[in-house]
């Protein structure tokens, strides 16, 4: 499904990003992995390479335009092209009402979730425009991009914004061979989810009561959806907000 494709993944050192790195390389992709935690990222990349995968670690922070530009340039320098991108880096928290949320927290959440996706799109799209085959971009949003889920208000706003950027980019480049979609991820069993459950005093073993499947999702389940959107199998899909939420949005 992804054999021979060069794919950039952000937030790749753990959770959904790590699962995507493992799945994409198993499918035969060359992956360029970006995350802030350099040691974790390099350890993951080394493990993948020892296992026969084609992987490159480029530590960096998506809130820095220059860091993202460098990562995209490294992808082209090492593999000659950029076929797809999974813009997955994100961060948020819970347990604060809007009026209790400090300005610094608002700016951090907006920087990681919105500016980070913006930086990725700004630097990935020009490379894809130069390729006859174009490319496919997948942004990670959340059920918080469609509902007030209990996450802090800036996170809800930021994930709504990711859907807006996705639709705008899809409309801008639909006739220029670039597809842009978003994943609406539900409650996925990641380190970030576990942190937020602890803040809220909830158990990591208690299923999400609104999800039809009555369970948390696993990072690999989101990675599979991202793989499909990055592949040519989804060639007539763009501007979509694809739910991977165990049925949360069904009721």
CATH no. for residue 174?
3.40.50.720
Element spanning 79, H or E: helix 65-79
Q: How far apart are CA 55 and CA 3, in angstroms?
A: 13
Partners of 8 in the beta sheet? 32, 85
Identify the band that residue 210 occupies on the pLDDT scale cut at 50, 70 and 90.
confident
Of 20-24, 195-199, 208-212, 239-243, give the lowest mean pLDDT range: 195-199
pLDDT at 198: 67
User: Quick one: average pLDDT of 95-122?
Assistant: 97
Catalytic-role residue among 106, 155, 173, 248: 155
Q: What is the pTM of this model?
A: 0.95
Is residue 247's pLDDT more than 90?
yes
Residue 39 domain-assigned (yes or no): yes
Q: How many domains does the chain have?
A: 1
SS3 185: strand
Residue 251 domain-assigned (yes or no): no
Residue 103 domain-assigned (yes or no): yes
Residue 94 domain-assigned (yes or no): yes
Partners of 7 in the beta sheet? 31, 84
User: Quick one: average pLDDT of 201-212?
Assistant: 76
Q: How far apart are CA 216 and CA 199, in angstroms?
A: 17
Residue 247 domain-assigned (yes or no): no
Question: How far lies 184's CA from each of 5, 78, 90, 234, 245, in Å?
Answer: 24, 31, 13, 16, 7
Residue 249 domain-assigned (yes or no): no
% of the chain with per-residue pLDDT over 70: 96
Q: How far apart are CA 161 and CA 182, in angstroms?
A: 11
Residue 248 domain-assigned (yes or no): no
Of 107-111, 113-117, 196-200, give the lowest mean pLDDT range: 196-200
Return phi, psi of residue 169, to 5°.
-65, -40
pLDDT at 207: 73
SS3 136: strand
Of 29-33, 175-179, 185-189, give the lowest mean pLDDT range: 185-189
Q: Look up 155 and say whether it is catalytic.
A: yes
Domain that holds residue 134: 6-242
Residue 172 domain-assigned (yes or no): yes
pLDDT at 192: 74
Identify the band that residue 199 occupies on the pLDDT scale cut at 50, 70 and 90.
low
């Amino acid at each position: 499904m992804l054999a021979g494709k060069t794919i950039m993944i952000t937030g790749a050192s753990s959770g959904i990003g790590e699962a995507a790195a493992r799945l994409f390389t198993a499918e035969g992709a060359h992956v360029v992995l970006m995350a802030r935690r350099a040691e974790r990222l390099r350890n993951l990349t080394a493990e993948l390479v020892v296992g026969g995968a084609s992987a490159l670690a480029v530590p960096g922070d998506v809130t820095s335009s220059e860091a993202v530009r460098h990562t995209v340039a490294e992808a082209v320098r090492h593999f000659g092209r950029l076929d797809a991108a999974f813009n997955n880096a994100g961060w948020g928290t819970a347990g604060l009402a809007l009026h209790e949320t400090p300005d610094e927290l608002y700016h951090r959440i907006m920087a990681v979730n919105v500016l980070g996706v913006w930086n990725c799109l700004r630097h990935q799209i020009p490379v894809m425009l130069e390729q006859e085959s174009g490319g496919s971009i997948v942004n990670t949003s959340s059920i918080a991009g469609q509902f007030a889920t209990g996450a802090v208000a800036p996170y809800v706003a930021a994930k709504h914004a990711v859907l807006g950027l996705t639709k705008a980019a899809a409309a801008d480049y639909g006739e220029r061979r670039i597809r842009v979609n978003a994943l609406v991820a539900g409650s996925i069993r990641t380190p970030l989810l576990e942190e937020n459950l602890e803040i809220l005093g909830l158990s990591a073993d208690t299923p999400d009561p609104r999800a039809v499947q009555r369970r948390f999702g696993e990072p690999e389940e989101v990675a599979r959806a991202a793989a499909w959107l990055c592949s040519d199998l989804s060639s007539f899909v763009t501007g979509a907000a694809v739910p991977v939420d165990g049925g949360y949005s069904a009721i």
